[in-house]
Structure 1
Amino acid sequence: MMQPMTNKELEYVIDSMSNEDLLMKTSAAAAAASTHPEVKRCCEQMTKLHQTNYNTLMQALQQHQSVAPMN
Structure 2
Amino acid sequence: MMQAMTAKELEYVADSMSNEDLLIKQCAVAAATITNVQLQQACSHMVDVHTQQYTTLLNAIQQHQSMAPTQPQS
TM-score, normalised on structure 1? 0.96
Identity among equivalent positions (%) equals: 56
How far is 1:67 from its partner? 0.8
Unaligned runs of 5+ in 1: none
Question: In the alignment, what sits opposite 1:67?
Answer: 67
Question: Which protein has greater RCO, CA pairs closer than 8 Å, 6+ apart?
Answer: 1
Aligned-partner Cα distance in 2 for 1:23–1:32: 14
Unaligned runs of 5+ in 2: none
Runs (4+) of structure 1 exceeding 4 A deviation are: none
* Bigger radius of gyration: 2
CA RMSD after TM alignment: 0.6
How far is 1:33 from its partner? 0.3
- The alignment covers a number of residue pairs equal to 71
